Structure 1
């Protein structure tokens, strides 16, 4: 199977997937009393104590897969900040003529939804009366937990146990989409470039009778990988694996005569499921506004460009791994996101739905540097029998102001959060100072 399918199976298989069967989100019963804590050190001790309580008792043989999110650590203030951001935009653009429709993808324990709705009910009752909160959750277990945690207090919540990438019900109303710490677990594909001619190859994962997983590389035939590379080419985004030295014909010829020179570049993990997510929004939610938050960088990643962290917990200790080709279901696999490149691709994809400029994205990704794909790529028939349509390459489509802005974690929360509520006695603020490797897109 393709690398993305192997990763998806490892994380989301309903019978043994990591999120389906193993993962548990850390959730203290009561919010932390930040003003009573002296320093960030005391806060970290409180978090460790919470871990110890939730990790107590008999453990499965493979260890309890317990992890935390900023929503849980800084509740309700983290959710209130997101609610304040969305409310300000809604009041500026739509109130009182349109309902306040919020979609959340992957709502975890339901804490963020509850905090947002509590904030609206208490601070903006007129808007709360016009609010419809819709959770899209792939996990049946989490969907049941969310119903227990949120619907008993808020009747304006609906929970749809479905994969957002399989969404097929258009909503033409203005709406907001929240995805916090969701896209880091979106499966990626792997490509490598042949050093002799810089042609890309796609990764497939095989398994033998002994259960050993192996990577094989073949010419790219997958339509989704083809589409991603075409978008990237249209945006003039340089492939991460292609150094300036490799693009030199003279240097490549010299490399060929070196003994034991590799014939493929290091692997590059490309966010193909993230592309599907953006295309789903464009097709089914044409008037959405996206609020997305996730890791922009990660430590302890496996080798490769844009590579993930692969880890598990054993006897209460987090163990990083050096490979993703491991027993499916027991390991978390999560990726960093290049927010600048994401912002460009988001603008390009959403601009197409508005008919701003036809984009030729149909040629083979291994075509010449002066070719790109034709604008009828999104036709129902897919590839034509007569082969790809080639047109001269021009500048990437960048029309008007950007559709979204990028904020650091601290910038976003400083703007929208109640900072005093999470300030400690010595003036430190863990909500602002932790998660420096996280960014927001809105």
Structure 2
């Protein structure tokens, strides 16, 4: 069956036909299929190839030579913890934050400067994670096993320092049995961590540098079994896990998978094919169809559903009335009989599969965002943005120049929980950001004079997935 293209119906009579006069299937078949793993060996952005959407996004974010994280990303780091008891309230906290932000030079701010709860609320955010780890370790593993922690994507090493400081100060016996391993895909970040954590900070803080190791590889490439019980920690990792994109035939519901074709000029073209790769098929099988609504409930959002161009949708494509989809298809110049796009977390499924296969005795704690403002077009669509002249600029599509844009996906924590249970066979819970931190955080130390608590009040769109 030929792939579906949005280009042919609109451009078939134009001299500047983007498919060079070819049919969609001929144009699609012209280019070889390539993966992000193979592209990682290249120093220049590819042309004359095609790839799955997930490979395009992963190459854009993580290619070691031109990807976003190796070349653009920098993590905001405070000089010292905020003294919340001296702050009047949230406005005072914001002023103190901006004062620390101003230390970055114009060149540094021209890069993509991240703000994470770990850095913004250090050490209190990290100490909350440490309490969770320590309590669960003492309940389930102590004294028969050591406390072994694997952190995915360690950033500046701040979470590691906060966790180890807390364990050393509050349970010296457990500290002597603690090993901390950072699994970091970015070589530049791994080098920074190795320098700061192993050579400077750990010694300065009185830690034994042998207690920490940095493993410069993607967790997706892990290939050694870790038989010992361990904790796997990942803060703000899920939002940058690549997704695949699918559409559904509006008559039959058949799934079509998205591909990106990059032509000889470097232009991007999106195609959809009924040939589904193994991870997309597995995700669809595990997800099932229990979420599909019937009857009158499908009438919600009928009017807003007629125009989805350039904006996200809260209605799953399979839950839209066929009449609405037919009308939108008729109004569209493309007439491809496919639904709006759905972005599915295939890399998250691969992460859980890796944990199940290579970390069979793990316990898990992940934190990330369950929604964003400014999402691009589609269901579960990403935010695509970059910094230009000190201002954040959003794009309407993920098909942007590789390496210049952050591509962030919201996490549906209920789906993530179900996928984890089915893949790993372990029980797991979800908690909202403030709920988790009320249980495990030092609320008194992060409360301002007015009674406002930035640790709890900020990041209402964040949540935890934890064993």
Q: How does 1:262-277 map to 2 (within 5 A)?
A: 263-277=337-351
Cα distance between partner residues in 2 of 1:257 and 1:115:
53
Cα distance between partner residues in 1 of 2:188 and 2:373:
30
Q: Can you give the 5+ residue segments of structure 2 that lack an aligned partner in the other structure? A: 1-50, 293-314
Match in the other structure for 2:187: 140
Q: Which moved more, 1:220-229 or 1:101-110?
A: 220-229
State the secondary structure of the residue aligned to 2:214. Answer: strand
Cα distance between partner residues in 1 of 2:329 and 2:257:
25
Q: How does 1:155-234 map to 2 (within 5 A)?
A: 155=209, 156-233=211-288
State the secondary structure of the residue aligned to 2:378. Answer: coil
Superposed CA RMSD? 1.9
Match in the other structure for 2:358: 284
State the secondary structure of the residue aligned to 2:183. Answer: strand
Q: Select the residue among 16, 21, 29 that pairs with 2:71.
A: 21
Q: How far did residue 57 of structure 1 move? A: 3.8
Q: Which moved more, 1:332-341 or 1:209-218?
A: 209-218
Match in the other structure for 2:290: 236
Cα distance between partner residues in 1 of 2:107 and 2:394:
23
Cα pair distance change 1:257/1:70, threshold 3 Å: closer
Match in the other structure for 1:122: 169
Q: Select the residue among 327, 347, 360 that pairs with 2:401.
A: 327
The structure 1 segments of at least 4 consecutive aligned residues displaced by more than 4 Å after TM superposition are 251-262
User: For the Cα contact (< 8 Å) 1:220–1:226, is it kept in 2?
Assistant: no
Q: Quick check: 1:49 aligned with 2:104?
A: no
State the secondary structure of the residue aligned to 2:94. Answer: helix
Q: Select the residue among 116, 124, 127 that pairs with 1:69.
A: 116
Q: How far did residue 341 of structure 1 move? A: 1.0
Cα pair distance change 1:59/1:438, threshold 3 Å: closer
Q: Quick check: 1:106 aligned with 2:153?
A: yes
Q: Deviations over 1:183-223 (max 9, x none)?
A: 11000000000112111101110122332211111113311
Cα distance between partner residues in 2 of 1:116 and 1:253:
51
Higher share of residues assigned helix: 2
Cα distance between partner residues in 2 of 1:348 and 1:224:
14
Cα pair distance change 1:221/1:32, threshold 3 Å: same
Q: How far did residue 350 of structure 1 move? A: 1.2
Cα distance between partner residues in 1 of 2:236 and 2:365:
11
Cα distance between partner residues in 1 of 2:161 and 2:387:
28
State the secondary structure of the residue aligned to 2:113. Answer: strand
Q: Deviations over 1:220-260 (max 9, x none)?
A: 33111111111112x734493211523xxxx5997699565
Match in the other structure for 1:434: 458
Q: How far did residue 149 of structure 1 move? A: 2.5
Q: How far did residue 148 of structure 1 move? A: 2.3
State the secondary structure of the residue aligned to 1:242. Answer: helix
Cα distance between partner residues in 2 of 1:299 and 1:116:
31
Q: How far did residue 150 of structure 1 move? A: 2.1
Q: How far did residue 52 of structure 1 move? A: 2.3
Match in the other structure for 1:404: 428
Cα distance between partner residues in 2 of 1:57 and 1:259:
47
User: For the Cα contact (< 8 Å) 2:325–2:339, is it kept in 1?
Assistant: no
State the secondary structure of the residue aligned to 2:379. Answer: coil
TM-score computed with the length of structure 1 as normaliser? 0.83
User: For the Cα contact (< 8 Å) 2:122–2:162, is it kept in 1?
Assistant: yes
State the secondary structure of the residue aligned to 1:143. Answer: helix
Cα distance between partner residues in 2 of 1:244 and 1:38:
49
State the secondary structure of the residue aligned to 1:14. Answer: coil
Q: Can you give the 5+ residue segments of structure 1 that lack an aligned partner in the other structure? A: 352-401
Cα pair distance change 1:418/1:213, threshold 3 Å: same
Match in the other structure for 1:90: 137
Match in the other structure for 2:54: 4
User: For the Cα contact (< 8 Å) 1:204–1:216, is it kept in 2?
Assistant: yes
Q: How does 1:366-385 map to 2 (within 5 A)?
A: none
Cα distance between partner residues in 1 of 2:213 and 2:388:
36
Match in the other structure for 2:375: 301
Q: Select the residue among 419, 430, 444 that pairs with 1:420.
A: 444
Q: How far did residue 13 of structure 1 move? A: 0.4
Cα distance between partner residues in 2 of 1:115 and 1:254:
55
Cα distance between partner residues in 1 of 2:389 and 2:66:
20
Match in the other structure for 2:5: none
Cα distance between partner residues in 2 of 1:30 and 1:105:
24
TM-score computed with the length of structure 2 as normaliser? 0.79
